[in-house]
Homo-oligomer: A and B are copies of this chain.
């Protein structure tokens, strides 16, 4: 999960001991990594300041210097999630041929991210656990929103600036709602009964394809 090695090894012998140097050297990132590991291993309820500190081999109050409080750590983690989500959406977008394919590709990337990181995805959309005013979080969310908006505008107007903003807002909301709802229900386990009726070796992906296709076909006559 981390992209950088700690400047000083946290603990030479293993995990959890406290033999490391008094100053960790890269504690902030190490705590974020530990927190994400907890999130992955035990879900959003298992993410705890003290647990993250213990896993990093550091005292229980050490996180305070870097994040202030639990909400701060969660917000930084969520920001990291939004950044990576946007990155994967952009990658999917860049690989798409037409603007219409791009929308589907973005949607698939969105759902794939949620499935690959269920705990993190949950955290990202629990605003009561987050401080929306944290710069890192605000900008990460904004970046993702701009990316989505760009894709919708590209599909709708082909770059013309005279597009109807009301229609664009509606398209953004519809696309985001559809994909976000699918991802949310899927991660929460609510689609399991429906997935049981979908054949194939990857029912989740198949069902998502059907859902995405439903936006392009008229509803059944009558």
Contacts and interface: CB of A to CB of B under 8 A. Distances in A.
A171 interface: yes
A128 B184 CA distance: 13
Contact of A194 (B125, B157, B169, B219): B169
Integer count of this chain's copies in the complex: 2
A180 interface: yes
Contacts of A129: 45
A184 B127 CA distance: 11
A91 interface: no
Interface residues of A, number: 52
B125 A214 contact: no
**Which of A145, A178, A185 has the most chain B CB atoms inside 10 A of its CB?**
A178
B211 A170 contact: yes
Please give me the 9 A-B residue pairs with the lowest Cβ-Cβ distance, nearest first: A181-B181, A177-B181, A170-B210, A180-B181, A177-B182, A174-B214, A174-B211, A178-B178, A156-B220
Contacts of A132: 189
B198 A169 contact: yes
Interface string A163-190: 0011101111110111111101100111
Contacts of A190: 125, 127
A207 to B, nearest CB: 6
Nearest to A98: B222
Nearest to A118: B128
Given A184-B125, A222-B158, A210 B177 contact: no
Contact of A178 (B126, B181, B218): B181
Interface string A124-161: 01111100100000000000010000000001111000
Interface in A87-106: 100
A6 to B, nearest CB: 31
Contacts of A188: 125-127
Contacts of A182: 173, 177, 181
A218 B220 contact: no
